[in-house]
Amino acid sequence: MWKRIYEWLDERLDLRGLYKNTLDRPEPKGNWWNTLGSATLFLFIVQVATGIFLATYYTPSPDHAYDSITYIMTDVRFGWLIRGIHHWAATLMVILVFVHMVRVFATASFKYPRELTWLIGMGLLLLTFLMGFTGYLLPWTQRSYWATTVGTQIAGTVPFIGPFILKVLRGGTDLSALTLQRFFSAHIWMLPVALGALIAVHIYLIARQGESYWPRKED
Amino acid sequence: MGVFRGGPEGAAVADHDVSRRDFIKVTTTIVGGAIAAGLGVPAIVYQLDPAFKAGAKEGWVPVGKVADMQIGTPYPFFFTLVQVNGWERTSTGHGGFALRQSEDPNDILVLNSRCTHLACTVNWDAEAQEYICPCHDAVFSKEGAVLSGPPPRPLDQYSPFRVTDAGELEVFF
């Protein structure tokens, strides 16, 4: 029964080919340093899942943002767990993408034909930082308020267009409800969608080109 | 090469029944399943949490001293209730008229001032000895019966109510 369902699906979807090309593809040599990208992908999926759950209770308004998070942490069953995972996985993800980048750099894996994978990876690194930056404001605590004040102020020091960037980031000259709302929309829509799209291309390139060989002494 | 060392070679050792490949598959499935269940079950409980919670709190609300109420004259009272829904507090106002009908401190008619037509608040007109609703000219008698206008039924009564030992009238809400 299950076999027939599987056969039916396989005939149309080529599940075997999919499996072979993604999970069963030949690797140059087993190495834990080559698992950092997968680990980051796992964290991204965890962040999407826990983020979606947090959105059930969180509200991005200056009046209620902090209260809604207090509610998640104290009153909702397992709220502490969902938010705890989101918080710590975010920190870990920033660390992992950075170590992943260092690994790729150290093994010279960014060279031909993988320049595009590297460039997209740079985009992913930037987007991950932006996720951290926008997510930091959402609890609307003193710490997040002033961190965002300082962060946007730094962006505002760009010559000539600085004041313009500052106003775009804050949705005005000062931190306000508009800032919180646009950081929220960036955090849950724009940045994740961009991240997801770039991750898809990143993984496609890896599946297509395979992993790079570990450099030998003579390289 | 120092830090970047390759892993051990992947050949299955002859006297083991399980190949390295199968071991990895089984381990990944078990660990992955444990993570999915460990995260999935709390996530479902988290999502359904409000459904497990008890409804709004009910209790006795003091509305006035019986000694202050004159027999035969409606005594207006108001109280506000604060409801906490998640992170938001909503306060709702309620009011009514306590009408002592005899010397017996428990012989009180506790009317709700919410018009039974469309929930406007009725006012006591002392001259006419009637409750008049400002919205659609509904008129109720002192005891709450409909005299004229659109209301489908008499004024509601707060029930149950009680008089405490200190002489305070309390309604259950």
Residue type, A126: L
Nearest to B98 by CA among B37, B54, B144: B144
CB contact under 8 A, A57 and B42: no
pLDDT of residue B44: 94
Token pair for B59 = 């209790």
pTM equals 0.75
CB contact under 8 A, B7 and A70: no
pLDDT of residue B68: 86
**Which of A46, A76, A214 has the CB atom closest to B46's CB atom?**
A76
CB contact under 8 A, A76 and B4: no
- pLDDT of A216 over the 90 cut: no
Token pair for A95 = 């660390």
The CA distance from A181 to the nearest CA of chain B, in Å, is: 18
CB pairs under 8 A between A and B: 58
CB contact under 8 A, B86 and A57: yes
Other C-beta atoms lying within 10 Å of the C-beta of residue A118: 16
Q: How far is the C-alpha of B132 from the C-alpha of B147, rounded, in Å? A: 10
**Which of B10, B43, B45 has the CB atom closest to A30's CB atom?**
B10
Which contacts (CB < 8 Å, 24+ apart) does range A38-41 have?
A39/A96, A39/A100, A40/A93, A40/A96, A40/A97, A40/A100, A41/A199, A41/A203
Span A1-29, mean pLDDT? 86
Residue B4 in contact with partner chain A when CB distance is under 8 A: yes
pLDDT of residue A163: 94
Mean pLDDT (chain A, rounded): 93
The end-to-end CA distance of chain B, in Å, is 77
φ/ψ bin of A61: left (φ > 0), alpha (ψ from -120 to 50), beta (otherwise): beta
pLDDT of residue B1: 39
Q: Check if the beta carbon of residue B88 is closer than 8 Å to that of residue A68.
A: no
% of chain A surpassing 90 pLDDT: 82
pLDDT of residue A195: 97
Residue A62 DSSP one-character state: T
Residue A216 in contact with partner chain B when CB distance is under 8 A: no
For residue B63, how far is the Cα from the chain centroid? 20
pLDDT of residue B4: 46
Q: Check if the beta carbon of residue B140 is closer than 8 Å to that of residue B130.
A: yes
pLDDT digits (tens, 9 = 90+) for B123-160: 999 888 999 999 998 999 988 999 999 999 999 998 88
pLDDT of residue B55: 64
**Along chain B (173 residues), what's the average pLDDT of each consecutive run of 10 residues?**
44 66 92 92 93 75 87 89 82 89 85 91 90 92 91 90 87 82
Residue B46 in contact with partner chain A when CB distance is under 8 A: yes
Q: How far is the C-alpha of A68 from the C-alpha of A97, rounded, in Å? A: 30
pLDDT digits (tens, 9 = 90+) for A147-179: 999 999 999 999 999 999 999 999 999 999 999
pLDDT of residue B14: 55
Q: Check if the beta carbon of residue B49 is closer than 8 Å to that of residue B82.
A: no
**Which of B4, B10, B46 has the CB atom closest to A77's CB atom?**
B46
Residue B105 in contact with partner chain A when CB distance is under 8 A: no
Residues of chain A with C-beta less than 8 angstroms from the C-beta of B46 = 53, 56, 76-79, 81-82
Beta bridge partners of B100: B71, B108
CB contact under 8 A, A29 and B49: no
pLDDT of residue B139: 93
Alpha carbon distances (Å) from B139 to B95, B122, B156: 17, 9, 14
DSSP per-residue letters across B92-147: EEEEEEEEE-SSSTT-EEEEE-B-TTT-PBPEEETTTTEEE-TTT--EE-TTS-EE
**Which of B10, B46, B52 has the CB atom closest to A82's CB atom?**
B46
CB contact under 8 A, B43 and A49: yes
Alpha carbon distances (Å) from B166 to A169, B62, B64, B66, B111: 61, 11, 11, 9, 22
pLDDT of residue A210: 84
Token pair for B142 = 């002192």
Span A81-100, mean pLDDT? 97
